[in-house]
Amino acid sequence: MLKYSLKRICLALVTLWVIITLTFLLMHSIPGNPFAQEGSMPKAVYDNLQSYYNLDKPLLTQYGLYLQSLLQLDFGPSLKSSSISVNDYIKNGFPISLHLGAQAMVIAITFGLIFGVIASLNRNKWPDYVAMVLAIIGISVPNFILATILINYLAVEWHLFPVATWKSWSHTVLPSIALAMMPMAYIARLMRSSMLEVLSQDYILTAKSKGLSRYSVIFKHAIRNAMLPIVTVLGILIANLVTGSFIIESIFGIPGMGEMFVKGIFNRDYPVILGSTIFYSAILIFLILIVDLAYTWIDPRIKVPGGRK
């Protein structure tokens, strides 16, 4: 197990390096320039900016300088803000996005599993239809529409929650719900089909025939086995949720890190593009590793290579 984990971590570092290099090359090859603006600035001003941020150096030198500062865990300055560096962006933004993402994840997993299980146990009866109609709405209604509807009724019309900003717990409720809808619906659908498959297996019949209670059969045999596909997608879902959603954070005025991904590219803010890509990749790689390790815990039939024979 330890050997396997170490091997995976080494592999992850190589993957990260490839991602950094590719991103670096790609971002310098797209048209546009971080300092371009309507009405070109005098050449001297432009040159001063370029040399201030080392952008006048050859690409290879820039790449070397970047890797060097990266080894000191310094993601560099933001070309668009002289007050906050890329490290600040992550340091300030990530805890907020993580908080929001975790709340959304709890909502999504709890209700997703409940809806999925209820639907599968009542296949083709009304609870199944209700749960699946909700799931289809959750998947097909974009979260910015849902967010706008939530704000309009729960905040503007009924004054139950504040409209936007990130100050107290009540400010976190609406964005968490808006963010949770899609993964919740996804989990519910996946859980339903997975449960149906498990329930038709022979061992469920065996469990029933040896006289186990309905509760035991469902909770101890069916759900545990049906969880496996959910765990597989959880890694990616969590990585997406905790690194922030640009749209939700923008609509609710939340100072998370979601906007880094979009605005970094829009502004050609090179260090921000690289910083956000590296950070997201690291989290994703880490979570996928956790998911792989979690398989063996949930289903002892799965063995990790190099693990106990």
Partner 1 sequence: MKKKLGSTLILILSTFFVLSGCFGGGTTKEPASNDSGKPSDETEETAPKVLRLNNSSEPGSLHPGTAQGTHDSWILEHAFEGLTKKTPEGEIIQGMAEEWETSEDGLTWTFHLRDGIHWSNGDPVTATDFEYAWKYALNPESASTYAYQLYYLEGGQEFNEGKAGEDGVGVTATDEKTLEVKLAQPTPYFLDLTSFYTYYPINQKVQEDNPEWYQEADTYVSNGAFKLTEWKHKESIKLAKNEHYYEQDKINLDEVHFVIIDDENTAWQMYQAGELDLVYPLPQDVQGQLMANNDPEFVAGPDLSVYYYNINNNVKPFNNPKVRKALSMAIERQTIVDHVAQGGQPPAYSVVPPGIPDVNGDYQENTGKLFEENLDEAKKLLEEGLAEEGMDQIPNFTLTYNTSEGHKAIAEAVQEMWRKNLGIEMTLENVEFQVKLDREKAGDYTISRAGWVGDYVDPMTFMDLWVTDGPYNDADWSNAEYDKLVQTAKTTMDQEVRMKAMHDAEKILMDEMPILPIYFYTKPFTVKPNVTGIYTPINRYPQFIYADIE
What is the nearest approach in angstroms of partner 1 to the Cβ of residue 59?
Answer: 18
Token digits of residue 150: 């939530």
Smaller CB separation from partner 1, 189 or 221: 221
Smaller CB separation from partner 1, 15 or 203: 203
DSSP state letter for 1: -
Smaller CB separation from partner 1, 19 or 105: 105
What is the nearest approach in angstroms of partner 1 to the Cβ of residue 146?
Answer: 14
**Cβ(76)–Cβ(66) under 8 Å?**
yes
Query: Could you tell me the maximum CA-CA distance found in the chain, to the nearest angstrom?
Result: 85
Smaller CB separation from partner 1, 12 or 262: 262
Smaller CB separation from partner 1, 72 or 83: 83
**Those residues with Cβ within 8 angstroms of residue 101's Cβ, 6 or more apart along the chain or in another chain:** 179, 238, 241, 242, 243, 244
What is the nearest approach in angstroms of partner 1 to the Cβ of residue 250?
Answer: 5
What is the nearest approach in angstroms of partner 1 to the Cβ of residue 127?
Answer: 20
**Cβ(297)–Cβ(303) under 8 Å?**
no
Which SS3 state, helix, strand or coil, does residue 124 take? coil
What is the nearest approach in angstroms of partner 1 to the Cβ of residue 84?
Answer: 5
Smaller CB separation from partner 1, 16 or 247: 247
Nearest alpha carbon to residue 234 among 102, 132, 142? 102
What is the nearest approach in angstroms of partner 1 to the Cβ of residue 42?
Answer: 5
Smaller CB separation from partner 1, 69 or 92: 92
* Phi and psi, residue 81, nearest 5°: -140, 125
Alpha carbon distance 141, 285 (integer Å): 29
DSSP string for 131-187: HHHHHHHHHHS-HHHHHHHHIIIIIIIT-SS-SS-SSSHHHHHHHHHHHHHHHHHHH
Which SS3 state, helix, strand or coil, does residue 26 take? helix
What is the nearest approach in angstroms of partner 1 to the Cβ of residue 31?
Answer: 5
Q: Give the position of tokens 């709340």.
A: 103
Which SS3 state, helix, strand or coil, does residue 67 take? helix
What is the nearest approach in angstroms of partner 1 to the Cβ of residue 61?
Answer: 19
What is the nearest approach in angstroms of partner 1 to the Cβ of residue 186?
Answer: 16
Smaller CB separation from partner 1, 20 or 218: 218
DSSP state letter for 253: T
Alpha carbon distance 129, 136 (integer Å): 10
Smaller CB separation from partner 1, 14 or 176: 176
Q: Give the position of tokens 């803010």.
A: 269
| Residues constituting the chain | 309
